[in-house]
Structure 1
Amino acid sequence: MKHTILFFAYSEWANRRGHHDLVLELAGKNRVAFIEVMPRYGEARARNAGDYVGNYFNGRTQTISDNLVVIPSPPMMPYALPIVSSIWRKQFAQLSIRLSKKIQARYIKKKIRELGWEPTMVICCEAFDLLHTGRFGKGVYCYRTYDEIGNFFSNRYIADVIDELEVKNMHKVDFVFASSRAQFEKRKALHPHIFLVPNAGNFRHYNEAVTNGVKRPVDIGDIPSPIIGLVSVIDFRIDLALLKAVALAHPEWSLVLVGPVRDYSFEGWEENISGLRSLQNVYFLGRRDFKSLPAYMKYFDVGLIPFQVTPATNTMYPYKLHEYLAAGLPVVSTDLYELRPHRDVVRLAGSGDEFIRAVEEELEADSDMKKQKRMEVARQNDWAARAEQMLCLAEGKRG
């Protein structure tokens, strides 16, 4: 076995995300402990909380394969409490985070000793976990940025705490792997060994939409074509008004949304969701099993990335792009900065009218040649290549 890796994740194992594919690739030739965090929001994730808490309090470590285990870590202590005086909120958050991470480190060390493992590499994905640098021996420590997390908090002081944690602690790790160009540019002056390792897709899995004779899922069996599809969590990133405009502009299209709908209390969210649900050509299917997603994509005619363009989304590199491309789908997206280098395989739209027109044109002008080009781009942007890139960079430093 080449490495023993601790991978501090930003979600629980049951909530399949892009970094699960990265971890599975790393576990091909290395031992990996996936350190999961407790579900933090949303109805769909809350359903996993019971299993998570049960596993943690019963000391259960899940064995996924011979090389991969999942360790539920102690839940984070509250760090954003409205009852705390505004004068002390920032200090309270800093203290709570530091204490939580000390407790977490002690617990993880115990579980690793029980496994008889000695980590040679630690990879963290959140600024909080930079506090673990040096706590698990003399291995290589890496920080993989995946989003600008501070942009997701409505409480500005929490965003400031996260930014300060990163600035004060990032220099302690050996490597920083930025998952987007914007994240790389923001940090390149803060670390001498920072590399752009963009998000990717699971080519082999999503290409089953093309290579395997997958059957049409029953729940879309009677939905008329063309199907304009979105496979994503329906959360604050999604431009619901844009989706409504698409559905209204072409009532003959079927807009199929595959993914859980987040439950938010902010003004307008429920009204916008209800407005979409009321349209006869919009279909909310909810969460579907990861294994079944290629079957849905096989029967899509166009794949959508309808993110609002905001400071939060404009630093993201949506791995959804390469999943759609692997399935051979034409892709239409809002004008996200990180997708601009891929204009040859994704249509970017700067307005609602442009977005609708792009979908129209992709429906009319698709071809086998375009499909092959899309799949080739996806093949070149597979998680296996990203895992190999990260390991090669880390081994270069050690040598």
Structure 2
Amino acid sequence: MLSDQTFVCLTPERWNGLWRNRHQLLTRFARHNRVLWVEPRPYLSEALHSMRARRLEADHTLAWPRPQHVQDGLFVYRDPLWLPLSGRPPLRQITAWGRGLALRAAVRQIGGGQAPILWLFRPDQGDVIGQCGEQMVIYHAVDEYAAYEMEFQADQAANRPGRVQALEQIILRRADLVLVTSAPLLAAKQAWQPNTHLVPNGVDFAEFAAALAHPQEPAALAAVPHPRLGFVGAINEKVDLRLLSALAAANRAWQIVLVGPVTLRYNLDDLAELRAQPNVHFVGALPVTQVPHAIAACDVCLMPYRINAWTHHISPLKLYEYLAIGRPIVSTAIPAVADMAPLVGMAPDAAAFPGQVELALRQAPDEAAAAARRQFAAGQTWDARVERISDLIVATLTGRPVNEKGD
């Protein structure tokens, strides 16, 4: 296991937000290393709005930024509002210089004598390469971001064709190591960076096993009758809201439980229709410690994804969490579950989804099937993923051949 290194990680979300694979991986690396969790950088419009409204958060003031120690080995850092991202020269160059200066100072403050490892998660973060004197650059792709741009921002994309793809190609060429979470992403990124490797998402199996052994039903679910069809995760543009509305209408006895924040920017009419269904329950985000208990409190777990170029490339975190609890799973026909039968029931289209749910409910008492799901999940732990990434980092730094067993 890699140790005594400093990681500078530009994350797409706040530390105290919905837990994703970044939280799972970086908290584990922080046990033996120093991790600087760099929160999303402010844009000029955001900075101006906050200043005009005088809405400066306690940790995002006009003061010189300092990393906050949140747990052993892990520090959270935010760029100051007065150094925003801007596309306007000369402000762009001035603020970029200032952000680099502040970032290098933050790296020095958390300690460690050697050059850091820079870890990027988004195509628009390439401007940071070279700013902190890093010894290597990791790019970690968990989505096909260009597909999102074309699916939901076609009007902007028409004015800047391939902008996201162009930004990502720059990072792919400059990165020393590229990590991806799905086979379609591996095929897409290896063409630009040969040192690209598949590291799927994982699960904290021990935590989920404990929730199954000692269930504590979240209070938000207590009044919801059974059978419960549960979805855990952000309700965003990946989710097929029309499918869920049709599922709710197919059988009013089925209670659809949605655990997670609503982050939609598009398809708001579909969201309104779903909210109007009497047997659909929007629980909202739960603390990460309650998520295993929420899944255990459901009878069937849902993966109702839309079928498009974006979801073609995903590796749903919830897949491994559902499997760890052992409940039957019903998914739309995304590549991530194409080879998962009989562990996952797959509906070839939206019309077939209710039938798959009926089948899953009939199979719910099958303890042998539940044990098979849990056994599979037991081999997909975050600790194993961290060991794999650690091996890839060491191989990249030393120039030795990579063991391809994980690809």
- String of CA shifts for 1:349-397, please: whole Å, max 9, x gaps: 1212321111111110231111111112222122211111111011012
Flag the 1:249–1:52 CA change in 2: closer, same or farther, 3 A.
farther
- String of CA shifts for 1:76-95, please: whole Å, max 9, x gaps: 8566xxxxxxxxxxxx5899
Whether the aligned pair in 1 keeps the contact of 2:64 and 2:80 (CA below 8 Å) is no
Given the alignment of the two structures, is residue 377 of structure 1 paired with residue 376 of structure 2, yes or no?
yes
Structure 2 length as normaliser, TM-score?
A: 0.84
Once the two structures are superposed, the pairs formed by residues 100-115 of structure 1 within 5 Å of their partners are 101-115=96-110
Determine helix, strand or coil for the equivalent of 2:14: coil
- String of CA shifts for 1:105-133, please: whole Å, max 9, x gaps: 22211111223334442211112223333
Of 23, 34, 38 in structure 2, the residue corresponding to residue 31 of structure 1 is 34
Of 6, 18, 22 in structure 2, the residue corresponding to residue 19 of structure 1 is 22
Determine helix, strand or coil for the equivalent of 1:283: strand
Structure 1 length as normaliser, TM-score?
A: 0.86
Return 5+ residue gaps in structure 1 as ranges: 41-45, 80-91
Return 5+ residue gaps in structure 2 as ranges: 44-49, 399-407
CA distance in 1, matches of 2:331, 2:57: 36
CA distance in 1, matches of 2:371, 2:16: 33
Given the alignment of the two structures, is residue 247 of structure 1 paired with residue 248 of structure 2, yes or no?
yes
Of 112, 128, 132 in structure 2, the residue corresponding to residue 132 of structure 1 is 128
Report the counterpart of residue 229 of structure 2 in structure 1. 228
Report the counterpart of residue 262 of structure 1 in structure 2. 263
CA distance in 2, matches of 1:93, 1:11: 25
CA distance in 2, matches of 1:347, 1:276: 23
RMSD: 2.6
Determine helix, strand or coil for the equivalent of 1:207: helix
Whether the aligned pair in 1 keeps the contact of 2:9 and 2:119 (CA below 8 Å) is yes
Whether the aligned pair in 1 keeps the contact of 2:237 and 2:264 (CA below 8 Å) is no
Whether the aligned pair in 1 keeps the contact of 2:41 and 2:84 (CA below 8 Å) is no
Flag the 1:140–1:52 CA change in 2: closer, same or farther, 3 A.
farther
CA distance in 2, matches of 1:348, 1:360: 12
CA distance in 2, matches of 1:17, 1:348: 24
CA distance in 2, matches of 1:56, 1:68: 23
Determine helix, strand or coil for the equivalent of 1:198: coil
Percent identity of equivalent pairs: 25
Flag the 1:105–1:339 CA change in 2: closer, same or farther, 3 A.
farther
Flag the 1:99–1:200 CA change in 2: closer, same or farther, 3 A.
farther
Q: Structure 1 residue 6: deviation in Å? A: 1.3
CA distance in 2, matches of 1:207, 1:51: 38
- String of CA shifts for 1:8-45, please: whole Å, max 9, x gaps: 111111112221111111112221111111589xxxxx
Flag the 1:93–1:300 CA change in 2: closer, same or farther, 3 A.
farther
CA distance in 1, matches of 2:287, 2:77: 22
Q: Tell me which moved more, 364-373 or 131-140.
A: 131-140
Report the counterpart of residue 88 of structure 1 in structure 2. none
Report the counterpart of residue 47 of structure 2 in structure 1. none
Flag the 1:275–1:289 CA change in 2: closer, same or farther, 3 A.
same
Q: Structure 1 residue 343: deviation in Å? A: 2.8
CA distance in 2, matches of 1:95, 1:128: 19
Corresponding letter in the other structure for 2:179:
F
